[in-house]
Amino acid sequence: MEGNIHQVINYVKNYEAEIGFIYISHQHLEELEKQLEADELCFVELSKAVQVVAVGKKNPFYNEKSITKDMLSELHLIHYQTKNLALLKDELLVNQVIENENTKIDCVTNSENVILNLVEHTDLGLLSVGNGLNMEEQRNIRHIPLADALGEVSFGYVVKKNKKLSEDFVEFTKSF
């Protein structure tokens, strides 16, 4: 099943799924934990990462060491629309940042090739986690971290409290 964070939580809460994997920014983690507590669910963190903005040489922030909240509102972004893979980290995190900022999306695509070309040849940027689409090795694209807690994210799963998980699943989660 696919969906945004709230949909994934509802799938687990309503017994439509036993486990739901999500990425959540640290600035929303406390709010999430309160909601999960009320729904008798819990979040198990598997790993942490840093959000980055991928930019090419034509982007005014290309030489910056980090992107602040104020700078983020000045960015022109590409939204990597993954309709059939809505649980991908980039889409969920972009949605979280945009909901709370004055950031605007200037372009939407579902093509990695289009993203690579737009980032490399225009002033557009792409919000991602870590090195995202492995762009640095192939092109003049930098991944600039978001400053402070704005860029910290957690990956993990939502599950009913006291849910006994299979040994295979527990072993699988160790790969994160």
More confident site: 139 or 91:
139
List, as one string, the DSSP characters of 7-47: HHHHHHHTTS-SEEEEEEEHHHHHHHHHHHHHTTEEEEEEE
pLDDT the model gives residue 157: 93
More confident site: 96 or 125:
125
pLDDT tens for residues 119-164? 888 898 888 876 555 555 567 888 898 886 566 888 899 999 988 8
41-56 and 152-160 as β-strands: parallel, antiparallel, unpaired? Answer: antiparallel
pTM: 0.65
Enumerate the domain spans of the chain.
5-173
Radius of gyration of the chain (CA): 17
Question: Which residues have a Cβ under 8 Å from the Cβ of 172 and sit 6 or more positions away?
Answer: none
Question: Which residues have a Cβ under 8 Å from the Cβ of 37 and sit 6 or more positions away?
Answer: none
| Across 72-86, average pLDDT | 67
More confident site: 88 or 113:
113
pLDDT the model gives residue 14: 94
Answer whether residue 100 shows pLDDT above 60: no
**Which helix (H) or strand (E) element contains residue 55?**
strand 41-56
Mean pLDDT over all residues of the chain? 79
- The CATH homologous superfamily for domain 5-173 is Periplasmic binding protein-like II (3.40.190.10)
